[in-house]
Amino acid sequence: MVIGVIKIKIHTNWVHSLKEKRMVVKSLCAKVSNKFNVSIAEVEEQDIHQVTVLSIATVTSDASHADSIMDQVIDFIDGNTEGEIIQIEREIS
């Protein structure tokens, strides 16, 4: 069993309230979870309007498959948010 984890930090300079941020995060999490069958949650910086930190986890039987899924998730998030990805941390174990 292989576990792949990504932590992505996104800067959204156009968000001006926690309500706006919550709408963006909930929408993005639902889209990613439904499309890739991964677990996703906001894990840090929850009280800061313009910074979102998401953690995504997947479990597979092969490290290359986990890596491929993580690449696809990163590309999807990059293409489906108006924010800028400013940091990505990856771990496969």
pLDDT given for residue 83 in this prediction: 86
Residue 14 in this model has a pLDDT that exceeds 90: no
**Where along the chain do its domains lie?**
2-92
Burial 65-75 (b: 16+ CB within 10 A, else e): ebbebbeebbe
pLDDT level of residue 7 (50, 70, 90 thresholds): very high
* Rounded-to-integer distance, Cα 77 and Cα 6, Å: 12
Residue 36 reports pLDDT greater than 90: yes
Domain 2-92 has CATH 3.30.70.3270: no
pLDDT tens digits, one per residue of 44-56: 988 888 999 999 9
**Considering the entire predicted model, what is its pTM?**
0.87
